A and B are shown apart, each in its own frame.
Chain A
Amino acid sequence: MFATKRLSKMQEHLPPGITIVKCDNLEEWQMDIKILDDNPLYLDQTYRLKFIFSNKYPIEPPEVQFIQCAASTGTPRTIPMHPHIYSNGIICLDLLGTAGWSPVQTVESVCMSLQSMLTANNRDERPAGDKEFIATNRRRIRDINFVYEDDNV
């Protein structure tokens, strides 16, 4: 396993607002992120991210999405409102696609990018075609061809 050594090298010294929730295997990790500034959209909220790593990580990007947790789990998590985040948690961000990904990225750097993507947002809306997308999409995240048309994220 090429990935074994690499993934387990993650640190306990994480940037502010980022915590590891689950990293007991090398296929799937979960992270919690907080938005640290006072953006009213995400104030006092914590969001959960799921990372799925392939054998080819870090040459190929991990699959990253937000996931929901029911209140009964003790850590209720919702999908943040954002014009590039579908309500099923799938994120449209170029650095998570094969074209935008670079092997120098890490779990932390992805989390930080998402933090800043949320911080910079002031639109309380879902992407166009959200309903249709979540109703019809059966593909895995990595197989979706996003069109990255918006540079203001």
Chain B
Amino acid sequence: MDQSFELADSTDWLETPLSLLAPFESSLRCQVCKDFFDNPVITSCSHTFCSLCIRRCLSTEGKCPACRSSDQELKLRRNWAVQELVDAFKLARPGVLDLARRENVRIARGEDEIEKPTRKKRKVNQVEEEPQVPETSSQGRRTRSQRSTNSSTDDRTVPQIVPEVIEDSQDDEEYMPEDGLVSCPICFRKMKEEAVFPHLNVHQQEEEAPKKTPTKTASFGSLKAISQRGLTLPTKQPERLPAINYSILKDNALRKKLRDLGIPDWGQKQLLQRRHTEWMNLWNANCDSKNPKSKRILLQELDVWERTQGGHATAPSPFTTSNNVMRKDFDANEWSNSHDDDFKRLIANARKKSEAQSRSSIPGESSSSSGQREPEPQQGAGLLVNGAGVEFSPDTDANHVIDLSG
């Protein structure tokens, strides 16, 4: 909320000499939540999102947010290569960013006098190479010499890393995008991307009789250790929840289902339905996680949902409910009954306010009182008064409801 609050963002790189990392980082972020991928899954149209993000989208709209082609939750598949990329990048990010920023400071102070000649030379290299880049990448594989010079230009601010990049022969295998092949996260065998998931099943079967012998553990050092730890399949996979066809379920049957799942079962059918959908999304997204959270934590997350969007959300707020008003099955009587108190309170408030205004001839006072209302948007009442202040006479309210339900 606070603007000074430090948040990692892909634009952090733009001011540094490593500005090319900005697009790199944004491609590691989910297009829906703009955060780093969390349990990335791939759709049948080959777009990747956080598991929870895409589940929420699909349960609302049934379409891929990126290309609008229809998709189903059932077709989502985990994208562990991306998870690994994100994890590794997040680990490296603070150090690299810090280094890049310090380089900035150094340049600003003019301390890089000695380096300047070499920098110039590298720049010339870069210019020569630039047109080659698309060419070589389209060929699929670059030669060692091209790549090492490339990386030396890109890494010019982190010179100590450069020799490592060039000399480490294992790098060829780690550098995934080069030959269009990816390595299996478990046995590190190289294969086509499409082949990875079928291949993973093999490991899953092997897991039962564990005889996994990673071949090159030593040569990869700590990085390997991380990916290994992270990617071994959880021993006990939580079972996915199936979708429910809400329209064939009576209220009580749905209520019972919720009770059986161990989640709150109060509220109207519509709320039960939304709560079940959210729980299913949270639960199934958790099933996509390498380290599934406990049910207790998921229940806490559902509680957050309940308070922000569910039954405990600022109910009279037009934000959360106007949608329901538009529904065909919207019950206008129920609505006016349940919100009767709110309407009365708001009308009373409005009267009080106008009385106060008419009593005090000082215009400053009335404007300050309305000004105070604005910074408390959490309260539905405050919002309603702001958003639709004009409408709050009993007559127009009645019209409002009738108009919409008809």
Contacts and interface: CB of A to CB of B under 8 A. Distances in A.
A55 B320 contact: yes
Contacts of B32: 58-59, 103-104
Interface stretch (B3-11, B93-101, B359-367): B3-11
A116 to B, nearest CB: 19
Contacts of A1: 308
Contacts of B35: 5-6, 9
Contacts of B305: 2
A12 B11 contact: yes
Contact of B65 (A25, A102, A142): A102
A12 to B, nearest CB: 7
Contacts of B383: 27
Interface string B311-331: 001000011101101100000
Given A6-B33, A140-B318, A103 B11 contact: no
Contact of A143 (B1, B53, B322, B377): B322
Contact of A13 (B5, B14, B60, B65): B14
Contacts of A140: 318, 322, 387-388
B7 A103 contact: no
Contacts of A6: 33-35
B377 A25 contact: yes
Contacts of B60: 59-60
B321 to A, nearest CB: 10
Interface residues of A, number: 31
Nearest to A54: B319
Interface string A31-67: 0000000000000000000000011101110000000
Contacts of A58: 32-33
Interface string A15-30: 0000000011111100
Given A4-B1, A8-B5, A58-B33, 20 more contacts: A2-B304, A8-B3, A9-B7, A9-B9, A11-B9, A13-B14, A24-B3, A25-B1, A25-B377, A28-B377, A56-B309, A56-B319, A56-B320, A59-B60, A103-B65, A104-B31, A138-B391, A140-B318, A140-B387, A143-B322
Interface of A: 1-2, 4-6, 8-9, 11-13, 23-28, 54-56, 58-60, 102-104, 106, 138-140, 142-143
Interface of B: 1, 3, 5, 7, 9, 11, 14, 31-35, 53, 56-57, 60, 65-66, 68, 304-305, 308-309, 313, 318-320, 322-323, 325-326, 375, 377, 383, 387-388, 390-391, 396, 400, 404
Q: Which 8 A-B pairs have the closest CB atoms?
A: A54-B319, A104-B31, A103-B32, A103-B65, A11-B11, A102-B65, A27-B377, A104-B65
